[in-house]
């Protein structure tokens, strides 16, 4: 993590209805921000680089403990980090620094595992931080209070408590704005302020106008400027700001090639950290380097609790994906099963069950595959879950045909960077008289993706236009996404009017096709970028 959707809120007392209505758009902003950070998954602690004592600790010994604990957090040795911060808490005047990092550790654990006990642990530590803030001087007091509200917003959104998340977002926004206004050279605050401005700016204009009336404003470029400032000048949020900037390029703007270099640098600087392996491996998959993603993620999953690391469940899922894209279905099966056995919450469960089912079907084990397809349920309103459920229903309806098998192999060849293999399979399908119109639309779409990756832009546009021409199923993604990628090509070529027309054409498709939320967000971001 990836794209926001507001869940309905069941029953509230009549006196709460005005609050719910007023904060409808704030709930969306909270969810956008939470998803950016969660896929965006969680907060990344930065290394201290400034001379003053951090977090208003009072002694040199306390400062050393802050540095030691943050280094352990950075390496994702969370048990070791918590031992250090508990020792820090026993030092006079260090409670706020200790509980800020202890709450951060709890948030990371619950985001990675969905274990219910970590939610209770987080709230206890976040409440203790509020009490400890009484002893902290400015600007650290307001900054830590703002970070506390931002963490609460993420946790509330993760739980689906959108109203609480909205109020926490309001609190974080006001406190970050206060710090930036009063202490403009306190660069730590620009990460949180930039993240909130980026989230608000990514909303539809209607919601941004409502937020403006309530005193909340933000533009994507404004948020990016503030994140860049944090990346360049903050002492404790550099790594996180760099990760967020990379994820904006790789996810929101769908330009993962621009995200890989900074994430590679962070991974090389912290190559023992499963967290940086996750970000880097995830983006390598998006740039079709499945073999390198496998190498990075395989190393990360071996760094488990026995070696002192907190196990990051999501690395297991993405390692399965890396094997799947290389047609290594036996290995993919193993890691999909391990993820299902480890992860306690709903995150990525739908695509994992689907991937496991497809791995089994590609091994000609359809009876076993059917049991996995039946487990695919979309319970979170996420693009990935919705698409997985639709695909599972299609796979349950009948055995995979040979053209469908070839399309999957073509998709895998492309996802692993085998362009010649991709073209060979797709050309044979296109020349066949036995494929359906839907399969022809998919074939043309995938040829367009191939030619775009090879920088054969005229051929890519021609293939995308064929995909649009042959698309008949309103629930298939080939036509809207073909328009989107045509827009991306035109935008990169500086053909702004043609790009705008193609983005708008992509947005005209109103059905709930696969990954429609992702397209809407990315197309709107592309229009703003023009």
- pLDDT tens sequence across 197-227: 988 887 766 666 666 766 778 888 899 999 9
pLDDT at 47 (0 to 100): 40
| Rounded Cα–Cα distance for residues 203 and 28 (Å) | 8
Provide, rounded to the nearest whole percent, the portion of the chain with pLDDT above 70: 88
Q: How many domains does the chain have?
A: 2
In a domain, 494, yes or no: yes
pLDDT at 424 (0 to 100): 98
Q: Which 8-state DSSP code applies to residue 309?
A: P
- Mean pLDDT, the chain, rounded, equals 88
HEC string of 9-71 equals: CCCCCHHHHHHHHHCHHHHHHHHHHHHHHHCCECCCCCCCCCCCCHHHCCCHHHHHHHHHHHH
CATH number of the domain encompassing residue 453: 1.25.40.10
Q: Which domain holds residue 457?
A: 402-529
Q: Which of 400, 395, 401 has its CA nearest to residue 371?
A: 395
- Model-level pTM? 0.85
**Does residue 66 register a pLDDT over 90?**
yes
Task: Extract the tokens encoding 74.
Answer: 């950075």
pLDDT tens digits, one per residue of 401-426: 999 999 999 999 999 999 999 999 99
CATH number of the domain encompassing residue 152: 1.25.40
Q: Report residue 180's pLDDT band, with 50, 70 and 90 as the boundaries.
A: very high
Instruction: Report residue 272 CA to chain centroid gap.
Output: 21
HEC string of 124-149 equals: HHHHHHHHHHHHCCCCHHHHHHHHHH
**Does residue 272 register a pLDDT over 90?**
no
In a domain, 244, yes or no: yes
End-of-domain residue from the set 254, 275, 298:
254
In a domain, 26, yes or no: yes
Q: Which of 251, 412, 414 has its CA nearest to residue 321?
A: 412
**Does residue 37 register a pLDDT over 70?**
no
In a domain, 60, yes or no: yes
Least confident of 80-89, 396-405, 499-508, 517-526: 517-526
In a domain, 56, yes or no: yes
Structural contact between residues 325 and 285, judged by C-beta atoms closer than 8 angstroms = yes
End-of-domain residue from the set 235, 254, 273:
254
* Section 44-59 average pLDDT: 62
| Rounded Cα–Cα distance for residues 406 and 445 (Å) | 14
Q: Report residue 466's pLDDT band, with 50, 70 and 90 as the boundaries.
A: very high
In a domain, 111, yes or no: yes
Q: Report residue 271's pLDDT band, with 50, 70 and 90 as the boundaries.
A: confident
pLDDT tens digits, one per residue of 284-326: 999 999 999 999 999 999 987 778 999 999 999 999 999 999 9
Structural contact between residues 413 and 446, judged by C-beta atoms closer than 8 angstroms = no
| Rounded Cα–Cα distance for residues 89 and 95 (Å) | 5
Q: Label residue 5 left, alpha or beta by phi (over 0 means left) and psi (-120 to 50 means alpha).
A: beta
In a domain, 199, yes or no: yes
pLDDT at 206 (0 to 100): 61
**Does residue 392 register a pLDDT over 50?**
yes
In a domain, 377, yes or no: no
Task: Extract the tokens encoding 419.
Answer: 């362009």
Structural contact between residues 88 and 82, judged by C-beta atoms closer than 8 angstroms = no
End-of-domain residue from the set 237, 254, 271:
254
Backbone φ and ψ for 326, nearest 5 degrees, come out as -100, 15
């Amino acid at each position: 993590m990836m794209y926001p959707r507001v869940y309905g809120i069941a029953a509230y007392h009549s006196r709460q209805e005005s609050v719910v209505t007023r904060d409808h758009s704030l709930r969306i902003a909270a969810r956008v921000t939470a998803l950016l950070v969660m896929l965006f998954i969680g907060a990344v602690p930065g290394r201290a680089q400034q001379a003053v004592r951090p977090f208003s600790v009072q002694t040199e010994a306390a400062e050393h403990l802050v540095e030691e604990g943050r280094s352990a957090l950075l390496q994702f040795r969370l048990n070791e980090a918590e031992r250090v911060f508990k020792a820090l808490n026993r030092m006079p005047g260090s409670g706020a620094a200790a509980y800020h990092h202890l709450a951060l550790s709890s948030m990371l654990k619950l985001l990675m595992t969905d274990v219910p006990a970590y939610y209770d642990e987080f709230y206890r530590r976040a409440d203790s931080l509020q009490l400890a803030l009484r002893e902290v001087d400015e600007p650290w007091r307001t900054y830590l209070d703002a970070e506390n509200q931002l963490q609460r917003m993420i946790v509330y959104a993760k739980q689906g408590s959108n109203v609480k998340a909205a109020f926490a977002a309001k609190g974080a926004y006001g406190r970050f704005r206060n710090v930036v206004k009063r202490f403009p050279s306190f660069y730590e605050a620009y990460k949180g302020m930039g993240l909130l401005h980026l989230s608000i700016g990514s909303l539809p204009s209607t919601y941004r106008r409502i937020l403006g009336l309530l005193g909340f404003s933000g533009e994507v470029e404004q948020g990016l400027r503030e994140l860049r400032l944090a990346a360049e000048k903050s002492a404790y949020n550099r790594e996180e700001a760099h990760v967020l900037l990379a994820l904006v390029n790789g996810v929101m703007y769908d330009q993962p090639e621009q995200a890989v270099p900074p994430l590679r640098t962070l991974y090389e600087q912290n190559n023992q950290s499963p967290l940086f392996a996750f970000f880097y491996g995830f983006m390598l998959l998006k740039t079709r380097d499945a073999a390198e993603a496998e190498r990075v993620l395989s190393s990360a999953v071996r760094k488990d609790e026995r070696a002192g690391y907190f196990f990051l469940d999501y690395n297991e899922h993405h390692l399965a994906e890396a094997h799947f894209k290389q047609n290594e279905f036996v290995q993919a099966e193993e890691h999909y099963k391990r993820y299902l056995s480890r992860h306690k919450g709903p995150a990525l469960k739908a695509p994992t069950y689907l991937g496991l089912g497809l791995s089994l079907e590609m091994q000609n084990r359809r009876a076993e595959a059917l049991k996995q397809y039946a487990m695919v349920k979309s319970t979170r309103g996420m693009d990935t879950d919705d698409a997985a459920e639709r695909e599972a229903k299609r796979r349950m309806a009948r055995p995979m045909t040979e053209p469908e098998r070839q399309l999957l192999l073509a998709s895998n060849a492309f996802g692993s960077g085998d362009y010649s293999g991709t073209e060979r399979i797709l050309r044979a399908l296109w020349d066949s008289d036995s494929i359906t119109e839907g399969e022809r639309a998919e074939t043309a779409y995938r040829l367009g993706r191939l030619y775009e990756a090879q920088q054969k832009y005229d051929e890519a546009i021609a293939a995308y236009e064929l995909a649009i021409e042959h698309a008949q199923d309103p629930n298939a993604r080939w036509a809207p996404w073909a328009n989107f990628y045509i827009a991306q090509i035109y935008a990169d070529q500086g053909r702004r009017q043609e790009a705008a027309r193609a983005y708008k054409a992509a947005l005209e498709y109103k059905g709930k096709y696969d990954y429609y939320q992702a397209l809407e967000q990315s197309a709107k971001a592309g229009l703003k970028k023009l």
